[in-house]
Amino acid sequence: MAEEKAKEVKMGRGPGMRGMPRPKIENPGQILARVFGILFKNYAPHMILVAVCIVVSVFANIQGTLFTRTLIDSYITPMVEASGKGMTPDFSPLAGAILRVAAFYAIGVIAAYVQSLSMMFVSQGTLRDLRKSLFEHMEKLPVKYFDTHSHGDIMSVYTNDVDALRQMISQSVPQLLNSAITIVSVLASMILLNVPLTIVTVLMVMVMLFSSAAATKASGKNFIAQQRNIGALNGYIEEMITGQKVVKVFCHERKCIEDFDRLNEELYDSAFKAQTFSGFLGPINAQLGNVSYVLCALVGGALALTSGSSAGSVAAFFLAMIRLFGVLSVGSLASFLTFNKNFSMPVNQVSMQLNSIIMALAGADRIFKLMDEEPETDEGYVTLVNSIIKDGQTVESDKRTGSWAWKHYHKADDTTTYVPQEGDVTFLGVDFGYTDDKMVLHDIKLHAKPGQKIALVGSTGAGKTTITNLINRFYDIQDGKIRYDNININKIKKADLRRSLGVVLQETHLFSGTVSENIRYGKLDATDEEVVAAAKLAGADGFIRRLPQGYETMLTGDGANLSQGQRQLLAIARAAIADPPALILDEATSSIDTRTEKIVQEGMDKLMKGRTTFVIAHRLSTVKNSDMIVVMEQGRIIESGTHDELIALGKKYYQLYTGNAPKGAEEATAS
């Protein structure tokens, strides 16, 4: 129980999240560098174009602001003086200057438009490539990863985390670049206009940065927690949707609502704190910017005064002291005050974007952790091919013949040999555990001869399904060997190994699409005739034809519009159409009624004919005709033989089949 709670807390589910330190991003610099690496690897020309457009746009605005000084000092003031002297002002120079400024502004508008289009192309293209890489990598991950990670949490990576990264790429990155260029160019312009006012502005900006850093630090850790809490909540919702029938059967609606409320409250808590601290930044920095503007206006106004009171007055003395730092024209003051606003604004924008970047980095961290998961390794080199007999030798066929062979390339002497695929499976002293410290199977010795039907029976948790998972190499064994046609399965490519095995699981999964498309999933190039033949073999043709659109009936929600038995029949048809050399049937008829089972069993017998078949069954009446029945208990094989042999033996299988105590126990009780 303690381990489960610790795991919940680690996943961001448990109530302990409230009292624990908030999670932190490990190596944010590396994550940011990796994001930019992706951007410049695929979109370097576009990023350069964006940077150029930002520079052009910023400088267009800078020259417009500087023109205010020229406008007042060189045009308006002389024209006012001329008008006061009774002279008629000449507006033509002013009109020409305004047209030049308008041209610069037009260039800036065009540059901003090109920047927006380019950034849209970069951001959407990057996310498209990222989702593609994520999905391709996910498809290469071992089954173990999906057994140990919530499906909803994985989905959250594709939705919330990718969206957070989108906002950073499309908004935060260009905004930060724009702000950086603006800050540098505006600072240079302010120094050019007046140094004392620049010092006042910089001092106020330092105060703004200090307050922004404090608020960002407080909100950043909560943004990270918010992303993880979203993943935990999505995972819980996904579990509840898939398990809704179980919830209702056991009347656990109230308990589920309570658990949801707890997870929802944790998300609310982290999101509220993140947004609260983030929300402080705007008003605080805006007011500090206003204070900076007022101070510069006061000092600048004093510097712009050219006459004062009498020489002996106190005001005149202070004005004289202020003028030691320089004298401002009215136009320069007007330009500087505009620059003051322009300088405070990008600093404020930078502080606001930092929170978005932190949230995006939290999402990117989860994205890259998924992408950095070790893919399923495959050191195999033996492949499965169609084969024909030519001149007494097995050779590769360029078309599907129904005959299979293992293609074995010998690097040492550069030769290729073909071994007919027969379905001989041997377990030689196999030990296996999902973790090294807890073994599940112990010294499994088993030989399935070609064409044999091997039944695995035993109580729940005995290790039956685990054995079939090892044949598929969903997991690798700790000790021993598994041979397939006398080839160590480690030498066989996993895709070819699994292609040779048709699998029907107890828990069927149907995809959104038509009935025929779901059957054709076992063989994508199958013809309509092959689809119908497979359905008939599985005993599914009858109910399919009674569906509204027959084989073209759409299935949604994992085949929710079908009964469990009908879904099982489609899964059997899907395995049948693949025409595999060997079969694994994991409770394949568990959801079928007795009458339907007889129909299906006939088709299954046809399907199993000539194929090595492993059958896992709790309904022992379905495995009586097996060539060998293997009885398992606590990860060990305790009995094996035919039905008659095991009944005569009178031990565990006898007990499972008859429901009576083992014969030895009956005799001991009688005595």
Series of mean pLDDT values for 10-residue runs along the chain (671 residues): 38 35 63 86 89 89 80 73 68 79 87 90 88 88 83 82 86 84 84 81 80 68 77 80 70 83 88 75 74 79 57 54 62 80 74 75 88 87 82 70 81 84 90 86 92 88 87 89 92 88 79 87 86 86 89 82 81 84 78 67 73 84 86 91 90 85 56 39
Which of 59, 62, 55 lies closest to 339 in space, CA to CA? 62
- What does the pLDDT read at residue 16? 34
Fold held by 425-670: Rossmann fold (3.40.50)
- What does the pLDDT read at residue 588? 67
Which residue has 């959801």 as its token pair?
591
- What does the pLDDT read at residue 10? 38
CA angle centred on 281, ends 164 and 354, rounded to 5°: 35
CA distance linking residue 227 with residue 230, whole number of Å: 5
Cβ atoms 147, 335 nearer than 8 A: no
404-410 and 415-420 strand pairing: antiparallel
Residue type, 305: L
Cβ atoms 666, 470 nearer than 8 A: no
As given in the structure block, the two tokens for residue 450 are 């070609």
- What does the pLDDT read at residue 9? 36
Please list, in sequence order, all residues whose beta carbon lies within 8 angstroms of the beta carbon of residue 135, skipping any fewer than 6 positions away. Answer: none
As given in the structure block, the two tokens for residue 584 are 């694994």
Cβ atoms 287, 344 nearer than 8 A: no
- What does the pLDDT read at residue 495? 86
Please list, in sequence order, all residues whose beta carbon lies within 8 angstroms of the beta carbon of residue 553, skipping any fewer than 6 positions away. Answer: 514, 515, 544, 547
DSSP string, 452-513: -EEEEEESTTSSHHHHHHHHTTSS--SEEEEEETTEEGGGB-HHHHHHTEEEE-SS----SE
- What does the pLDDT read at residue 187? 85
User: Cβ of 364: how many Cβ atoms within 10 Å?
Assistant: 26
Domain locations in the chain as residue ranges: 27-223+280-371, 383-420, 425-670
CA distance linking residue 3 with residue 19, whole number of Å: 18
CA angle centred on 436, ends 430 and 437, rounded to 5°: 115
As given in the structure block, the two tokens for residue 359 are 């949230």
Query: pTM (2 decimals)?
Result: 0.68
**Burial profile 408-433: b = 16 or more Cβ within 10 angstroms, e = fewer:** beeeeeeeeebeebbbbbbbeebebb
Cβ atoms 172, 374 nearer than 8 A: no
Please list, in sequence order, all residues whose beta carbon lies within 8 angstroms of the beta carbon of residue 232, skipping any fewer than 6 positions away. Answer: 11, 12, 13, 150, 153, 263, 266, 267
CA distance linking residue 416 with residue 407, whole number of Å: 7
As given in the structure block, the two tokens for residue 240 are 């509840």
CA distance linking residue 190 with residue 340, whole number of Å: 8
Fold held by 27-223+280-371: ABC transporter transmembrane region fold (1.20.1560)
As given in the structure block, the two tokens for residue 125 are 């293209």
As given in the structure block, the two tokens for residue 599 are 């129909």
CA distance linking residue 596 with residue 608, whole number of Å: 18
CA distance linking residue 549 with residue 555, whole number of Å: 11
